[in-house]
Amino acid sequence: MSGSNEEKPPTEAELAQMSRDELVQLGTKLDGVELVHYPEPWPVEGTKAEKRAERTVALWFTISAIAGLAFVVSLIWWPWKYESPENSGGHFWYSLYTPMLGITLGVAVLGLGVGVLMYAKKFVPQEIAVQQRGDGGSGEVDKATIIAQLADSGNRSTIARRSLIKRSAGLGAGVLGLGTVALPLAGFIRDPWEDTEGRDSLWHTGWQPQFPGEVVYLRRNTGHLGEEPEEPSLLRPEDLDAGSMETVFPFRDSERGSHEALAKALKRSDNPVMLIRLRPADADRVVKRKGQEDFNYGDYYAYTKICSHVGCPTSLYEQRTNRILCPCHQSQFDALNYAKPVFGPATRALAQLPITVNEEGYFVARGDFIEAVGPGFWERKS
């Protein structure tokens, strides 16, 4: 509080008797503030300009509300399941899902922000005040006067009689709030794991054979996006140098010739696997996990690419140290020790895919992972 005032501060009883205008004047005086310019934003009520300003502010809040509503509707009802480019209509709408979420949420936030800015610009008094800097904490008198000043500012902004602005601002903020509530709830409404034991549940991946004896090959993603489905690039042991790593995906004969099925296998988030070929000297030092002693094929080990921390892709394999690194939070896994975590926040080893080489010389999976890949979830006990 400034020590520049020479008047004795009023008592609490006197303060209680003072009107808001008097408190505003007192506050500025006690603070050594000089109001150089303190105009009423709209001294004459109901002018065209005033109404236009009000409608402009309300328009932005309404835009925000409509965009917020569109966000919630898109989040829940927009086609979100993968559609291959073969189905041109379906693919078009599916491909707009993420942009729709971004655009609608962006416009909702922008509309609300612009509305608040416009309101502050058009209706909050644009006073010019000069104040001397003071030391020390705030006393009762300061608190009372600042509250009065704030209330006066609100009063002068005429918000009390701006029901259009209040309603549209409430609508915009309300719908945006609805969007933030809908985000965590959307996972329950559009639950991809409804069938907790099914093939698409968190317990299984695309490596699970769809019928007994089905062969599931290890395949590269060559990035081919042409109209004609390509011949899948299957892997043989000689395709990998010692000390190298290749990301592989499942391929089954039933997918041959189907662009959609081939693309789906690449899209499924728990499918990517790191196929690592250890250097022979390193392979001699491997410690295998109990019950998984035969999951490797010679020097070749296949680990899920989904980090056991929160599911980022653990895409980095460091040949010299045999460490697998997750770039998200720097967890490191030891490829010589069944990919158990040795650094960082991850606490569980990366799931290992059992592999072998079939009579044609191609790598194939010997079944699905024997545990869920990736981070923990409610039903998971380990």
Residue 183 beta carbon to ligand FES: minimum distance, rounded to whole angstroms: 20
Minimum CB separation from ligand FES for residue 264, in Å?
Answer: 24
Phi, psi of 377 (to 5 degrees): -145, 170
Asked whether the beta carbons of 236 and 273 are under 8 A apart, the reply is no
Minimum distance from CB of 28 to ligand FES (Å)?
Answer: 54
Nearer to ligand FES, 154 or 345 (CB): 345
Q: Dig out the tokens for 374 from the structure.
A: 């990736």
- Closest to 336 measured CA to CA, from 378, 381, 303: 303
324: phi then psi, degrees, rounded to nearest 5: -105, 130
Tokens 């409430």 — which residue? 170
Smaller CB separation from ligand FES, 189 or 316: 316
Please report, for residues 29, 65, 244, the alpha-carbon distance to residue 238 in angstroms, rounded to integers and kept in the order given.
87, 59, 12
**Nearest distance in Å: CB 327, ligand FES:** 8
Between 72 and 326, CB nearer to ligand FES: 326
| β partners of residue 334 | 323, 340
Residues 218, 355: contact at Cβ < 8 Å?
Answer: yes
* Residue 226 in tokens: 């042409």
**What's the closest the beta carbon of residue 365 comes to ligand FES, in angstroms?**
23
DSSP-assigned letter for residue 201: S
Q: Whose Cβ is closer to ligand FES: residue 62's or residue 314's? A: 314
Structure-token match 């968190």, residue found? 202
Closest contact distance (angstroms) between CB of 343 and ligand FES is 10
Least distance in angstroms from the C-beta of 313 to ligand FES: 8
For ligand FES, the closer of residues 35 and 310 by Cβ is 310
Q: Between residues 105 and 326, which has the closer beta carbon with respect to ligand FES?
A: 326
- Report the nearest approach of ligand FES to the CB of residue 316 (Å): 11
Name the residue nearer to ligand FES (CB basis): 108 or 346. Answer: 346
Cβ contacts of residue 290 below 8 Å, gap of 6+?
none
Q: Residues, the chain, total?
A: 382
The nearer residue to ligand FES, 35 or 312, going by C-beta atoms, is 312
Tokens matching residue 299: 């020097």
Q: 172: closest CA among 51, 50, 71, 41?
A: 71
Q: Kindly list the residues in this chain that would bind ligand FES in the complex (CB under 6 A).
A: 307, 309-312, 326, 328-329, 331, 344-346
Report the C-alpha gap between 377 and 382 in whole angstroms: 10
Nearer to ligand FES, 145 or 308 (CB): 308
The residues near 183 (Cβ < 8 Å, ≥ 6 apart) are 75
Residue 27's nearest CA partner among 150, 151, 141, 152 is 141
- Closest alpha carbon to 299 in 311, 322, 282, 274: 282
* Shortest distance, position 310 Cβ to ligand FES, whole Å: 4
Amino acid at 104: T
> What does the alpha-carbon distance between residue 372 and residue 366 come to, in Å, rounded to a whole number?
16
* Shortest CB 294 distance to ligand FES, Å: 28
Q: What span, in angstroms and rounded, lies between the C-alpha atoms of 31 and 232? A: 78
- Of 121 and 329, which CB lies nearer to ligand FES in the complex structure? 329
